Every structure is written in structure tokens, then in C-alpha cells.
């Protein structure tokens, strides 16, 4: 073989160097990408129509809202509305809007866009599952001028600003709403937020891309512009797959990691644990007050006393979740610690049943009345470790001497069917939110989720007065103190644990922070450390 000349060698070296420089340049120009794991594949992700918390994880960065809530102090701060006034009687909210905002599709943001969004949400043909309810007694939306709009209520509604700060009332492009309609808009969403909606393939992935034109960030964000070019969301519904996906490098961030996996990963320098308290309702079970024997308040109290709630909480959720002490979690406005639930007292629980006429048969290990066992039917949803909690309730009440059956409802539809049948004594249901008005749906006599069946005009009045107390937090708290006491005294629910979302991120992911709702990350603040 002929030896290479020095010129030939020099040429090869120069070629290699130029390739290395080009490679470095290409690396520098590569997009910064994060993969975020979602733990539920919702049946729909239009926030104006659908209701899941999971959809807000990506979409709260696609939309801006009229106001934002500061997660550090709960105060409402300007968003798409620069300022607002509330009439003395609490009936009218007037918003002065920014005039420098553009939707991702180039449509200009103005007062008419806000009105179009509200009309879209309230259209009965669109069957909004959550957003329409969040508007409360809204009577009229009036465009005053191009950048001023007023909301007229039929009665004071304290949660309105809280509602307007959430993704479900995020402002969408009126052009896109008209073009795609309620059946297709979820695949073509257009907002004004720091990220653009690129693609959604159900049960597979959802992709967002940085909005380079974003220039109206609210003060709750640390950054004015997003640092990550692209965020890809993938679905991991099976809890067992989440830590594996993190460790394999398949994803960079995911929530609802099982407690013992979270504790193990937190010990590694490669990961960081973020325990996020979720405001709203705890994991809880409603007692059916219309179905014997739980129609008796003494029976309900005895069933509560037979449950070691601290043991269940630590067994299933480790050290991360506090034991629940009422119908609201401790991180929620309106929570009161003054009305704790009865401590675990197995002997007192059995004594109560015996005083009510049941005799304990040692041979059968059951409480009997006229030879018949005391039967209890539990219905649990599949999410949030409810089935595991249900199994421990079953074991505890069987130890007490009850004959217990446990039904796992595979989805909200079957859960609602179980409720409609009335053939249950304890049923698991809860929702999340930052305003305590969520209790009206669960405890008012005509509430959609009044699954205890309890009807009391005194409780109805307290719930109504609490929501009409305008923005006077002290006055509202006084009402919720009474509501807490009444719900506790009537033993309408068995609260188990306050929700804490265990989020794990790779240690080189920086700036992970969450909204006041707890579930929704501020994607604009994320960065990747080299």
C-alpha cells in the first residue's frame, strides 16, 4: 500500500476538525427537550369541556387566565386582566384587559374573545363537565369596550376569582373554537400561554413547543420566557411502571409515584423528590344515610372508631401523607383543625353495636341480630389507592364482626351507577380544588355528589351563606367551622388521608414549581442543568 503524503494527512485532519466543529455546532443548536409522564389518559382534554386534573398538567402552560393565584400566599394577581374591580354588593366584576396579547394562531386577544369563551363553556350542547359549574351564578357577560369586560352575577359568589385563575377557564382563541368546534378542538388547542399545543395522540403522547412570542408572563412565574424548547408528555397509568420509566431514562418527571418507590429514588443523587400537598378533599368514604344500618349516626360513628386511620395512611402512603381530619384537606382554604374525628377505639366500636342490639357470636366471629349478620357494602374507585384502602377497611370491619363485601368500580361511570343503585353503605369519591365551595356539591341536599344522601336545611343554609360572603375570608371561615362541626357530628364521611402528590424529577431538572392547585407545574420555569 502506498504511504499517504503529508498533504493528504493534513487534508484528513482538517476534514476531521471541521466535522468536529460542525458536530459541536449541531449539538449547541439541538432543542432542549423534556419528557413528562402523565398518570392518567383522560377520555377528553378540552379544559372547557372535560374535568380531569391530569389535563391541566400540560394545558395550564398553553393557556393564560384572566387572573393567576400566587401559590405562596394565595393572593390573586393580574394575568390577561391587568386589573379588576368588584362592586360593593359583590354582583359585578369588571376586568380591564391587556392590549398587547396575541393568541398562538395570530388572533388578537380582546374582550370579545373572553365573551366568546364564556359562551362556548356555557353552551348546553357542549356539556361542560366542570368549567360551566365553576362560573357559579353568572348571569351575563358584557363587553364594555375592546379591552374591558364585566361579569354580572345573580348573587355574590366568592369563588369566582379562584375559578377564573384555573385552566378550565383558560382563554382560547375564538378563531380556533369556531373552526374546530367542541368535538375536534381538543386536538387543535390554541391559547396565549408560554407553550404552544402541537399534537395530541390519545393514549400515546401530547407535545408542546415553546412560544417564542410570549411577552406577558404574570408575576407568579420566575422566568419571562420558557427555557425548554419542547415538552413531550407520555402516559403511565400503571403505578408500577413509573419508577422504571424514570430509572431507564424514558421520562424526566412524573407524579403519583408509589410512596416506597419515591422513598427509594429520593435516596439517589440522580433524582429529586417533590412532595406536593393537593388542596381539596381527602381520600374519603361517604356513608349512605339512606340505607340501614348506616342510616343510624351511632352506627356511622362506630364504623369510624373501628378504623385505625393512622395505620392505613402509613401502611399505604408511607410517611408522606397526613391523616385527614375532615371534608377538606389541611392545605385548603376553609379547613379547620378544631373538629378532629374520633380516635381508633375498637372496643368502644364493638360496644356501640352491642348497645344497639347486635350480639357478638364467638363461633361465627360475627355481630348478629335475630340471627342475621350485620352486612356492609363498600364501593371504591380504581384511582388514588382507593382499592388498597378499601381492602384494609374490609379487614377492619370484618374483625369487628361485620359481613363486608368490597366492589371496585372500574371508572367514574360504574362508580356513579353503584351510587344510583343505592346498594352501598360506604362509597369513595373526592375532588380537588382550592376553594371550599366544592363542599356544596357533596353536602347540600340537592348536591350532585351528595352521595351520603344526608338532607339538612341548616347545613344547606351554612353552605350557601359561606359562598355568598363575598371576599371576607374571616366571615367565610366562620361558616366553614360550623360546616366542619356538623359533618363531623353527623359522621357523614370517613376521612382517611390528605392527598400529597409525590413527584420525582431527574436531579438535573431545575425550577420545578407548582400552582396553587398543586397538580399543575409552571413549565415556563423549568431548565436543564448541563
pLDDT in tens, 221-245: 999 999 999 999 999 999 999 999 9
pLDDT attached to residue 322: 95
**Lookup: cell for 441:** 356539591
- Per-residue model confidence as pLDDT tens digits over 299-316: 999 999 999 999 999 999
Q: Where are the beta strands (DSSP E) in 39-125?
A: 67-69, 76-78, 81-86, 92-97
The whole-number pLDDT of residue 262 equals 96
Q: Answer yes or no: are the C-beta atoms of 470 and 264 closer than 8 Å.
A: no
CATH number at residue 304: 3.10.105.10
Q: What is the pLDDT of residue 26?
A: 41
Higher pLDDT, 410 or 289: 289
Domain that residue 270 falls in: 38-277+502-528
Tell me whether residue 1 is in a domain.
no
Q: Does residue 8 form part of some domain? A: no
Query: CB neighbours (10 Å) of residue 152?
Result: 15
Q: What is the pLDDT of residues 261-274, one digit of tens each?
A: 999 999 999 999 99
CATH number of the domain encompassing residue 126: 3.40.190.10
Q: Are residues 128 and 208 in the same domain?
A: yes
Are 43 and 179 in a shared domain? yes
Number of compact structural domains in the chain: 2
- At 30, is the pLDDT very low, low, confident or very high (cuts 50, 70, 90)? confident
Q: Would 15 be classed as within a structural domain?
A: no
Is the CB of residue 284 less than 8 Å from the CB of residue 451?
no
Question: pLDDT value at position 219?
Answer: 97
- In the structure grid, which three cell numbers stand for residue 179, read together? 373552526
Query: Does residue 15 surpass a pLDDT of 80?
Result: no
The share of the chain scoring above pLDDT 70, in percent, equals: 94
258 shares a domain with 138: yes
Position 27 in a domain: no
**Same domain for 392 and 369?**
yes
> Residue 25: inside a domain, yes or no?
no
> How much is the pLDDT for 120?
98
User: pLDDT tens across 357-385, in order?
Assistant: 999 999 899 999 988 999 999 999 988 89
CB within 8 Å of 174: residues ≥ 6 apart: 107, 112, 113, 116, 117
Together in a domain, 254 and 394: no
Inside any domain, residue 248 = yes
459 shares its domain with 336: yes
The single residue listed with the C-alpha cell 361579569 is 151
Spell out the alpha helix ranges (H) of 258-324. 259-266, 297-305, 309-317
Both 244 and 357 in a single domain?
no
- Same domain? For 247 and 299 the reply is no
Is the model's pLDDT at 7 over the cut of 60? no
For a pLDDT cut of 90, what percent of the chain falls above it? 86
The stretch 471-477 carries a mean pLDDT of: 83
Let me know if residue 53 belongs to a domain: yes
One domain for residues 288 and 271: no
CB 404 within 8 A of CB 398: yes
How many Å apart are CA 420 and CA 8, to the nearest integer?
A: 85
Residue 296 sits in the same domain as residue 268: no
Rounded distance, CA 102 to CA 215, Å?
A: 10
Q: What is the pTM of this model?
A: 0.87
Pair (244, 184) in one structural domain: yes
Which residues, including other chains, have CB under 8 Å from residue 106's CB and lie 6 or more apart?
A: none
CB 209 within 8 A of CB 61: no
CB 366 within 8 A of CB 360: yes
Map residue 143 onto helix, strand or coil: strand
Same domain, 78 and 128: yes
pLDDT tens-digit series, residues 37-85: 999 888 899 999 998 889 999 999 999 999 999 999 999 999 999 999 9
Q: Is residue 33 part of a domain?
A: no
Amino acid at each position: 500500500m502506498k504511504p499517504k503524503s503529508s498533504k493528504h494527512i493534513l487534508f484528513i485532519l482538517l476534514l476531521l476538525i471541521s466535522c468536529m466543529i460542525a458536530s459541536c455546532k449541531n449539538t449547541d443548536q439541538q432543542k432542549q427537550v423534556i419528557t413528562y409522564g402523565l398518570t392518567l389518559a383522560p377520555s377528553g382534554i378540552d379544559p372547557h369541556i372535560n374535568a380531569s386534573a391530569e389535563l391541566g398538567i400540560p394545558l395550564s402552560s398553553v393557556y393564560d387566565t384572566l387572573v393567576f393565584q400566587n401559590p405562596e400566599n394565595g393572593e390573586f394577581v393580574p394575568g390577561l386582566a391587568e386589573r379588576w374591580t368588584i362592586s360593593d354588593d359583590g354582583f359585578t366584576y369588571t376586568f380591564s384587559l391587556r392590549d398587547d396579547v396575541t393568541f398562538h394562531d395570530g388572533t388578537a386577544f380582546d374582550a370579545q374573545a373572553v365573551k366568546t369563551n364564556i359562551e362556548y363553556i356555557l353552551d348546553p350542547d357542549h356539556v361542560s363537565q366542570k368549567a360551566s359549574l365553576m362560573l357559579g351564578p353568572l348571569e351575563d357577560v358584557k363587553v364594555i369596550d375592546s379591552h374591558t369586560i364585566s361579569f354580572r352575577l345573580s348573587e355574590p359568589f366568592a369563588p369566582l376569582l379562584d375559578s377564573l385563575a384555573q385552566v378550565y377557564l383558560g382563554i382560547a382563541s375564538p378563531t380556533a373554537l369556531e373552526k374546530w368546534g367542541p368535538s375536534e378542538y381538543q386536538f387543535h388547542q390554541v391559547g396565549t400561554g408560554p407553550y404552544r399545543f402541537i399534537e395530541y395522540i390519545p393514549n400515546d403522547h401530547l407535545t408542546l413547543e415553546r412560544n417564542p412570542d410570549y411577552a406577558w408572563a404574570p408575576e407568579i412565574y420566575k422566568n419571562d420566557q420558557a427555557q425548554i424548547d419542547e415538552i413531550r408528555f407520555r402516559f403511565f397509568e400503571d403505578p408500577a411502571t413509573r419508577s422504571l420509566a424514570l430509572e431507564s431514562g424514558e421520562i424526566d418527571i412524573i407524579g403519583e409515584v408509589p410512596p416506597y418507590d419515591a422513598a427509594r429514588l429520593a435516596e439517589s443523587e440522580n433524582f429529586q423528590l417533590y412532595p406536593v400537598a393537593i388542596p381539596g378533599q381527602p381520600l374519603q368514604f361517604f356513608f349512605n344515610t339512606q340505607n340501614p344500618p348506616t342510616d343510624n349516626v351511632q352506627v356511622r360513628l362506630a364504623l369510624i372508631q373501628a378504623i385505625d386511620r393512622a395505620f392505613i395512611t402509613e401502611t399505604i402512603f408511607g410517611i408522606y401523607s397526613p391523616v385527614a381530619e375532615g371534608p377538606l384537606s389541611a392545605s385548603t382554604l376553609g379547613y379547620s383543625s378544631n373538629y378532629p374525628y374520633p380516635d381508633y377505639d375498637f372496643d368502644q366500636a364493638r360496644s356501640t353495636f352491642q348497645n344497639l342490639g347486635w350480639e357478638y357470636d364467638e363461633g361465627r366471629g360475627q355481630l348478629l341480630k335475630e340471627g342475621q349478620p350485620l352486612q356492609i357494602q363498600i364501593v371504591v374507585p380504581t384511582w388514588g389507592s382507593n382499592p388498597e384502602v378499601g381492602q384494609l377497611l374490609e379487614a377492619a370491619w370484618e374483625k369487628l364482626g361485620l359481613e363486608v363485601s368490597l366492589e371496585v368500580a372500574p371508572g367514574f361511570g360504574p362508580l356513579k351507577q353503584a351510587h344510583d343503585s343505592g346498594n352501598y353503605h360506604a362509597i369513595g369519591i373526592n375532588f380537588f380544588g382550592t376553594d371550599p365551595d366544592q363542599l356544596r356539591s357533596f353536602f347540600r341536599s340537592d348536591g350532585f355528589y351528595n352521595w351520603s344522601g344526608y338532607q339538612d336545611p341548616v347545613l344547606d343554609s351554612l353552605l350557601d351563606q359561606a359562598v355568598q360572603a363575598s371576599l371576607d375570608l374571616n366571615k367565610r371561615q366562620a361558616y366553614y367551622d360550623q360546616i366542619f362541626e356538623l359533618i363531623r357530628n353527623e359522621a357523614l364521611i370517613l376521612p382517611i388521608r390528605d392527598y400529597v402528590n409525590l413527584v420525582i424529577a431527574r436531579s438535573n431538572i431545575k425550577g420545578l414549581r407548582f400552582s396553587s392547585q398543586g397538580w399543575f407545574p409552571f413549565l415556563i420555569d423549568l431548565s436543564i442543568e448541563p
